Structure 1
Amino acid sequence: MTISPFKAALIAILITALVPMYWFIRVVDQRDEALEDVRGLNAEVVGLRQAARISGEMLAERDAIDQRNTEELTDARTENERLRRAVGDGTGRLHVRATCPAFGSVSATPGTARVADAGTAELAADARPDYFSLRDELALTRQMVLGLQQYALGVCQRSSAHQGTTFPNLNERKKP
């Protein structure tokens, strides 16, 4: 069977028209896939930028908490050292709040000899360094507890509040 030249020319024109159309459709599909990938990557970039901003804010807050508590601890230790020097050189005294019981070892009967009030009770000289060491440790412990509370309330709770929402599109990226 022979094909007329007119049919052959028509077939050639159709093939010539269909091949570029096939390639055009294929390029458009590839472009659409690339645009979808770009949209996904843009959403991921937005999530990563937000995560970086939040991390930066949390680090700044942690550093501010540390700075504030370190300053307060330094001030408390400086004051304690000033008191220690004042007691050591005699310009200050370390008093202990104490009371003597009216009953017990002291006789309450009239006419018996009693010891007159000798003055304010005071720590023995060998116990004074321990007192100031305890004050130092108390100041340190107080600042550590306050710092941890502030960190837990300001930084840790904030990070758990953003958990799961910081990177919404991180694992949704299409795999080729």
Structure 2
Amino acid sequence: MQLDGFLLVVLGLVAWVYIHFLEEQRDTARSERDSAYSEVVDLREAARISGEMLADRDENDRTRTKALNHALSEINDLRRAVDGGGKRLLVKATCSTPKPDQTGSGSVVDAGPAELAADARSDYFTLRNQLALSHEMILGLQDHVRRICLR
């Protein structure tokens, strides 16, 4: 009989250890599940933010590209008008007054407004294109910093 009682105690002890082991495994699995769920939530939030940042970047790029194309189109329209003779590129300039001892036709008073020479026109339009490009690049970078980097 004592052996039956001892065997019963040993079996109870083994069952208690096994149940305790299963509870520890259950708690570990719950902890790992909660950690994985938290990581999934964080990854989804990171993906959402990245998506918004990419959308902002693309919108900024579209806006600046549209503005640049518009500016370049206006410059090309001006170039065609100047080349066709419909417009002139005038230079803001002042001319000195004629000296009293100068006489004859073609004095400074009779001269028309100062205009760019024909060979300088292409340089003028190149500079305008570069200025428009630089302007839009600077605005685009400023928007990028405000909308994406400082987020």
Q: Shared topology, TM-score over 0.5?
A: yes
* Pair 1:98 & 2:59 matched: no
Q: How many residues align?
A: 148
- CA RMSD in angstroms, aligned pairs only: 1.5
Structure 1 runs of 4+ aligned residues shifted over 6 Å read: none
| Distance in 2 of aligned mates of 1:117 and 1:76 | 37
| Distance in 1 of aligned mates of 2:102 and 2:121 | 35
Choose between structure 1 and 2: higher helix proportion: 2
* Pair 1:52 & 2:42 matched: no
| Distance in 2 of aligned mates of 1:39 and 1:68 | 43
Partner of 2:128: 135
Between the two structures, name the one with larger relative contact order (CA 8 Å, sep ≥ 6). Answer: 1
Structure 1 spans left out of the alignment, 5+ residues: 1-5, 159-176
| Distance in 2 of aligned mates of 1:35 and 1:53 | 27
Secondary structure of 1:120's counterpart equals coil
Normalised by the length of structure 1, the TM-score is: 0.79
Q: CA deviation at 1:101?
A: 2.7
The letter of the residue matching 1:145 is I
Q: CA deviation at 1:50?
A: 1.1
Equivalent in 50, 58, 64 of residue 63 of structure 1: 58
The letter of the residue matching 2:65 is T
| Distance in 1 of aligned mates of 2:82 and 2:3 | 117
| Distance in 2 of aligned mates of 1:25 and 1:38 | 20
* Pair 1:124 & 2:117 matched: yes
Normalised by the length of structure 2, the TM-score is: 0.91
Q: How does 1:1-176 map to 2 (within 5 A)?
A: 6-102=1-97, 106-107=98-99, 109=100, 113=103, 115=107, 116-158=109-151
Q: CA deviation at 1:53?
A: 1.0
Secondary structure of 1:97's counterpart equals coil
| Distance in 2 of aligned mates of 1:112 and 1:152 | 61
Structure 2 spans left out of the alignment, 5+ residues: none
Q: CA deviation at 1:117?
A: 2.7
Q: CA deviation at 1:47?
A: 1.2
Deviation string, structure 1 residues 48-105 (Cα, Å, up to 9, x no partner): 1111111111111111111110000000000000000010011121111111133xxx
The letter of the residue matching 2:77 is R
| Distance in 2 of aligned mates of 1:101 and 1:120 | 13
Q: CA deviation at 1:112?
A: 5.0
Secondary structure of 2:63's counterpart equals helix
